[in-house]
Amino acid sequence: MELYELTALELAGQLRAGAVTQAEAIAAAAGRIAACQPGNNAFITVADSPAPAPALSASPLAGVPMAYKDNLCTRGMRTTCASKILGDFTPCYDATAVERLTAAGAVSMGKLNLDEFAMGSTCETSCYGPAKNPWDLTRSPGGSSGGAAAAVAAGEVWYAIGSDTGGSIRQPAAHCGVTGMKPTYGSVSRYGLVAYASSLDQLGPIARSAADCAAVLELIRGRDPRDATSLDLPAGGLLCALTGDVRGRRIGLPAECFGGALEPEVAAAVRAAAGVLRARGAVVEECSLPLLDYAVPAYYILACAEASSNLARFDGVKYGWRAEGCGSLEELYRRTRTEGFGPEVKKRILLGTFVLSADCYDSYYKKALQARARLKAAFDAVFQRYDLLLTPVAPTTAPRLGEGLADPLSLYLSDIYTVPANLAGLPALSMPCGFDRSGLPIGAQLIGPALGDLAVLDAAHAYQQETDWHRRHPDTPAAAKGGDAL
């Protein structure tokens, strides 16, 4: 087995045992990156000389090469958000998650490609060119954490940190056949994450397994005095608590998630995943999650509104790129923002500005906040009867490059399964559960109640004891066959 086919925990184990040295691990990552980058463009910035972890610490992931989505501030390394408007902005501070991982011995290989300012579902709005799906380089890896999912899938790094506002960790994880998790809102400090939609954004891990995700998550979560929305959570307590035991767990399959534009192959793979969990003792049955149709419009209203405010600070005054030759302040603002932002970002800013306008506030923004309250209540009711929900992650597998952008509205609608967890602040994870006839990965989503992150990870861990979808690799002959849905 190649080093890059190991999980992060397995690699860490080998590093601790001395079977692999730190230098070898870094060299392996660098080698993979050099080989894959021209094809999949997963990275925006590759670290020149990745710093090895200082004397392997006791952390379970010490010494493992990884990378950060490029909307996370990294001190001394350029942070672009895949946008022209940030230029070569180099923060003088680390995001809290970066600080914590560095302290735990993470070795950063660089910054990963994304949709500009995390706005998108295909990683095609990046000003550095799209990232591509390692399973089929003519296709999108998903978005907005497309580069992160691609890099992990291709074996360039053993895990990555992405951000998820409407599905941006889970959907690319599904399209790339890897495991990705968005924890309960507030679990991970947002300090240093360039904000898209403050009440929806969360950081989370993308890796080869749920166990890996648990190991990463417990290193980065917990109260941060610099983020007033961060939760007081105990240190650790995830990895060691994984049992893989789902006997008696009540898992609901919301009927509303299995209709409409959902591709039959995707539906079949997710139902098969339900079968695996049932075989391991979980009680799996159909349930109802009402109000699902309202989630996408509510999400886009709230996300665009908050984004229009969060992105107002990019004005060419304090950092980043500034349009040349501006004779007045107004020209400076206008030209910098017009020329510095891409079309999708500008559209969302205008949409957000619209829904916050004085004459629209009540019927759009306030209405969306109320819809959010009702959706949260609907989830609370469902979680009275069920421990977890199992749904698809996206209606289709990875689209071809260029296809997604053709019809923006359809693209927004494809977020139908992922945005509800962001609106309600719930933990949700995407795990590989098969391939379609074209050999493209399919993901299944587990959603838990607030603070139910362990239950979500454990159910995924149980599933991954029984299956090996999550270990498939695009370069490995067995996976190239495709069409292996159970």
Looking only at residues 386 through 425 of this chain, which bind another protein when binding is defined by CB under 8 A? 408-409, 412, 423-425
Q: Which of 301, 419, 431, 460 binds another protein (CB under 8 A)?
A: 301
Bridge partners (DSSP) listed for residue 202: 164
Site for another protein in 50-109 (CB under 8 A): 72-73, 79, 81, 86, 89-93, 95
Stretch near another protein under the rule CB under 8 A, chosen from 1-9, 103-111, 281-289, 328-336: 328-336
Q: Does 331 bind another protein (CB under 8 A)?
A: yes
Number of chain positions touching another protein (CB under 8 A) = 95
Q: Does 43 bind another protein (CB under 8 A)?
A: no
Look up 363 and say whether it is catalytic.
no
Q: Which of 14, 309, 465, 467 binds another protein (CB under 8 A)?
A: 309
Check if the beta carbon of residue 432 is closer than 8 Å to that of residue 178: yes
The catalytic position among 83, 121, 144, 209 is 144
Element holding 383 (H helix, E strand): helix 367-385
The catalytic position among 83, 121, 140, 168 is 168
Check if the beta carbon of residue 181 is closer than 8 Å to that of residue 217: yes
Q: How many other C-beta atoms lie within 10 A of the C-beta of residue 2?
A: 11
Q: Does 316 bind another protein (CB under 8 A)?
A: yes
The catalytic position among 69, 111, 132, 182 is 69
Element holding 163 (H helix, E strand): strand 159-164
Look up 83 and say whether it is catalytic.
no
Stretch near another protein under the rule CB under 8 A, chosen from 132-140, 175-183, 346-354, 461-469: 346-354
- Least Å distance between CB 94 and another protein? 10
Stretch near another protein under the rule CB under 8 A, chosen from 167-175, 286-294, 429-437, 476-484: 286-294
Class of residue 258 by CB neighbours under 10 A (exposed 0-12, middle 13-18, buried 19+): middle
Q: Which has the closest alpha carbon to 427: 208, 191, 213, 114?
A: 213
Q: Does 307 bind another protein (CB under 8 A)?
A: no
- Least Å distance between CB 235 and another protein? 19
Q: Which of 267, 333, 465, 482 binds another protein (CB under 8 A)?
A: 333
Closer of 250 and 334 to another protein (Cβ)? 334
Closer of 34 and 329 to another protein (Cβ)? 329
- Least Å distance between CB 126 and another protein? 17
Three-state DSSP class for residue 302: helix
Site for another protein in 11-30 (CB under 8 A): none
Closer of 374 and 437 to another protein (Cβ)? 374
Structure tokens at 101: 């991982």
- Site map 217..246 versus another protein, x via CB under 8 A: --------xxxxx-x---------------
Measured in whole angstroms, the distance separating CA 278 from the mean position of its chain's CA atoms is 27
Residue holding tokens 């602040």?
A: 425
Look up 168 and say whether it is catalytic.
yes
Stretch near another protein under the rule CB under 8 A, chosen from 61-69, 205-213, 342-350, 389-397: 342-350
Site for another protein in 440-469 (CB under 8 A): 450
Closer of 313 and 400 to another protein (Cβ)? 313
Site for another protein in 184-213 (CB under 8 A): 184-186, 190-195, 197-199
Cα separation of 375 and 452, whole Å?
18
Give the gyration radius of the chain's Cα atoms. Answer: 21
Q: Does 258 bind another protein (CB under 8 A)?
A: no
Q: Which of 350, 381, 478, 480 binds another protein (CB under 8 A)?
A: 350
- Least Å distance between CB 118 and another protein? 12
Closer of 117 and 158 to another protein (Cβ)? 117
Q: Does 288 bind another protein (CB under 8 A)?
A: no
- Least Å distance between CB 198 and another protein? 4
Q: Are strands 388-392 and 441-447 parallel, antiparallel or unpaired?
A: antiparallel
Residue holding tokens 């979500």?
A: 456
Cα separation of 35 and 49, whole Å?
17
| Bond preceding residue 144 cis, omega within 30 of 0 | yes
DSSP for 32-83 reads: HHHHHHHHH--EEEE-SSPPPPSS--SSTTTT-EEEEETTB-BTTB---TT-
Structure tokens at 197: 């939609």
Q: Return the exposure string of 317-343: e unless at least 16 CB atoms fall within 10 Å of the residue's CB, then b.
A: eebbbbbeeeeeeeebbebbbeebbbe
Bridge partners (DSSP) listed for residue 139: 400
Phi, psi of 219 (to 5 degrees): -85, -25
Q: Which of 138, 288, 338, 476 binds another protein (CB under 8 A)?
A: 338
Q: Return the exposure string of 400-426: e unless at least 16 CB atoms fall within 10 Å of the residue's CB, then b.
A: ebebbbeeeeebbebbbbbbbbbbbbb
Cα separation of 249 and 338, whole Å?
52
Cα separation of 50 and 107, whole Å?
7
Closer of 110 and 320 to another protein (Cβ)? 320
Closer of 36 and 220 to another protein (Cβ)? 220
Site for another protein in 120-179 (CB under 8 A): none
Check if the beta carbon of residue 260 is closer than 8 Å to that of residue 447: no
- Least Å distance between CB 485 and another protein? 32
Site for another protein in 355-384 (CB under 8 A): 356-358, 361, 363-374, 376
Residues marked as catalytic: 69, 144, 168
